[in-house]
Amino acid sequence: MTAREWLQTTAAAFQRAGLAEGEGAAAEAGLLLEAVLGEPRLQVMAGGARRTLSEAEEAALGRLAARRLSREPLQFILGRWAFLDLTLEVGPGVLIPRPETEDWVDRLLGSPLVERFGADPALVFADLGTGTGAIGLTLARRWPRSRGILVDISAAALEFTRRNLARHPAEADRLAMVRGDLCGCLRTGAFDLVVGNLPYIDPVDLPGLEPEVRDHEPRVALDGGPGGVDLIRRVLAEVGRVVRPGGLVALEHGHGQRAVLQRLPAPDLALRAAFDDAAGRERCLVWERRPS
């Protein structure tokens, strides 16, 4: 079988199984092919598509396609995934970074609220519920003089944080990882910026999620407690203590939660901005710590 035939057959199988539509199914098959052949996809598509696969390659590709057809996330099969300009290790035990998180992080970094910190500020930040470390690593890369604390309650998630810091030594030098519960381990008044993508799915909605998410991503990364907003409620109640006056708090949330979150008690904080994601869905709220 040629690489092209494998691609066509597998993309069609992925489409029949409802994993992805047309181009999405072909892209998924292409990424598996790239992983096994060890060649960039464009190269495979250009010249290599006519080449005949070896028996070993066909067997390896068959195993990966079967895993994907059993609804294992493509990202876990590949073992890595992109977040903005980072490539991060992912796998069972950690949430796969999402494009909607890229959207608000990008918007936050381009917003006047953050630009007033200056071009190269020596900020101190915390990333609550860091998972792969996606957001914290992005901030550390953007601000080469910044320092940050990456917090997660899950030891399994922090193992991925550790691996991703090892992949990014220039940023890792300025980052510390802590196993902890929200702001509990953070020093009073020490932070210019606290960001977080904490779980925000209502547990009643968990059974209806796609199998890739429901059966493979960790529940501790998804379940936001009653109404989905319990963890964010707890952060808002306590984060005013750790942010210095004028500092910012940016939290990702689910579509339809904005109105509820705006009404939650947030001592010493004033709401400053709301960002939607690229699909136009409510995604992030930003508060500023009031002067004491």
Ligand X SMILES: C[S@@+](CC[C@H](N)C(=O)[O-])C[C@H]1O[C@@H](n2cnc3c(N)ncnc32)[C@H](O)[C@@H]1O
Tokens of 158: 């922090």
Site for ligand X in 202-241 (CB under 6 A): 220-221, 231
Which pair of structure tokens corresponds to residue 133?
């470390």
> Is position 135 an interface residue for ligand X (rule: CB under 6 A)?
yes
Q: How far is the CB of 292 from ligand X (least distance, A)?
A: 26
Strand runs labelled E in the chain: 80-83, 86-89, 124-128, 147-152, 175-179, 191-196, 243-252, 269-276, 282-289
Closest contact distance (angstroms) between CB of 234 and ligand X is 7
Cβ atoms of 67 and 211 closer than 8 Å: no
Q: Which of residues 85-124 bind ligand X (CB under 6 A)?
A: 95, 97, 101
Q: Binding residues for ligand X, how many (CB under 6 A)?
A: 23
Q: What is the C-alpha to C-alpha distance for residues 221 and 134, in angstroms, rounded to an integer?
A: 14
Distance separating alpha carbons of residues 143 and 117, to the nearest angstrom: 10
Query: How is residue 258 annotated by DSSP?
Result: H
What is the Cα gyration radius of the chain?
Answer: 21
Q: Which positions from 154 to 193 touch ligand X by CB under 6 A, shown as an x/- string?
A: x--x-----------------------xx-----------
Q: Helix (H, G, I), strand (E, B), or coil: what is residue 164?
A: helix
Contact predicate 244/264, CB 8 Å? no
Q: By C-beta, is 135 or 284 nearer to ligand X?
A: 135
How many other β-carbons are positioned within 10 Å of the β-carbon of residue 188? 10
* Region from 24-32, 47-55, 139-147, 194-202 binding ligand X, contact rule CB under 6 A: 194-202
Q: Are 83 and 101 in contact (CB under 8 A)?
A: yes
Least distance (Å) from ligand X to the CB of residue 134? 5
The one among 48, 148, 199, 254 contacting ligand X by CB under 6 A = 199
Q: Encoding tokens for residue 85? A: 């300009």
Determine, following the binding rule CB under 6 A, whether residue 151 of this chain makes contact with ligand X. Answer: yes
Q: Which is nearer to ligand X, 136 or 240 (CB)?
A: 136
Nearer to ligand X, 34 or 103 (CB): 103
Contact segment (CB under 6 A) with ligand X among 3-11, 47-55, 148-156, 253-261 equals 148-156
Q: Among 30, 48, 73, 131, which residue interacts with ligand X (rule: CB under 6 A)? A: 131
Q: Site residues (CB under 6 A) for ligand X?
A: 95, 97, 101, 128-132, 134-135, 151-154, 157, 181-182, 197-199, 220-221, 231
